[in-house]
Amino acid sequence: MYKVRYILKIGFPLALGGGILWWMYRGFDWSTLQTAFTSGTAWTWMWLSFPFGILAQVFRALRWRQLLYPMGEHPRLHTCINAIFLSYASSLVVPRVGEVLRCGVLKRYEGCSFTRGVGTVVTERVVDMTMIAALSTIVVALQVPVFLRFFHETGVSLSGFLGQFTTTGWLVTALCLLTLSAFVFYLLRRYQWLTRTRTVMHDLTEGLLSIRKVEQPGLFWLYSFGIWVCYFLHFYLTFFCFASTSGLGLSVAAVAFVVGTFAVLVPTPNGAGPWHFAVKSVLVFYGVEGEEAALFALVVHTVQTLLVAALGVYAAVALSFSSKNRQCE
């Protein structure tokens, strides 16, 4: 039974992401991808986006360390950064496994409490969801005039616009939502399992409430804001890599970013499949030709995934030279 669950944990996300990617790119002209990688892309903008992708993870490590301090856990900064790098890279194989792995890294190399670490990770997720909810509200509010103007000028009603979705498109959307719901239910069950003992419950609760004892709350929220600004810039700068998206503007990038962020919640490796589907749909809505939108999603996701993998390899090598079982001071 354990082997079956293990296989499903790895196989299902891969199958879901792979299935959506196959459906999206089944009629794709792959020669355009070769052109994009050789001469059709302004790679300078892609390179300029990399520091923001890295900086977002560094800010996350700084914020995480700040949450651990009130509990008497003082891990070294470079260990926290490498743990974050490694967690994101490992989640490319098994979605969300990095959340647990990074706590294990601190336990192994810094002697920090594993369950307290898990509690702080849950706190981080609550903060992140608060940030993305606020960003989503702002973006939607700013885009309402755009949507209303679109429907007025084209004579298309909302129901008519949604009717342009193919049956398969609706099925993909429903499957993503169903998978996300099942994953949330699984996490809740796992949390109940972790809280069966009084000691574990105490450590988890302490980690969850650590935000109340943060010494510099202003800095904590600055890190939180900085994380999402860097994520957005990491994505937005890639718009200038392609002729089809370079003129769309900041607001379109913000809509695609928000929709893509929610799509990544579906447990597939780095959001592969749902993210492509969501970003392509937004770009098509704003007038980008379907194949160009699909090409954008494919290139950007592939390159940014390779960056995450490279950071993970760097972290694994760096940690191999780090001393183990150091007690947090």
What pLDDT does residue 314 have?
A: 94
Mean pLDDT of 90-114: 84
Encode pLDDT of 41-94 as tens digits. Answer: 888 999 999 999 999 999 999 999 998 888 788 889 999 999 999 999 988 887
Q: For 127-179, what is each residue's pLDDT tens digit?
A: 888 888 888 888 878 777 766 654 554 444 455 544 545 555 555 555 555 65
* pLDDT of 324: 66
| 36 belongs to a structural domain | no
Print the domain residue range for 189. Answer: 41-320
Residue 296 within a domain: yes
Q: Which range, 18-32, 86-100, 193-207, is most confident?
A: 86-100
pLDDT at 116 over 70: yes
Q: What angle do CA 15, 20, 23 make, to 5 degrees?
A: 120
* Residue 268 lies inside a defined structural domain of this protein: yes
162: in domain: yes
Mean pLDDT of 102-117: 86
Please answer whether residues 254 and 132 qualify as being in contact, where contact means their C-beta atoms are separated by less than 8 angstroms: no
Residue ranges of alpha helices (H) inside 92-241 are 97-110, 114-154, 158-162, 167-194, 198-208, 217-236
210, part of any domain: yes
Residue 31 lies in a domain: no
pLDDT-above-90 percentage for the chain: 23
DSSP string, 52-85: HHHHHHHHHHHHHHHHHGGGT----HHHHHHHHH
Neighbours of 317 (CB within 10 A): 10
Look at residue 70 and tell me if it is in a domain: yes
User: What pLDDT is stored for residue 81 in this prediction?
Assistant: 95
Domain-embedded: residue 25: no
Cα–Cα distance for residue pair 237/240, rounded to 1 Å: 6
How many structural domains compose the chain? 1
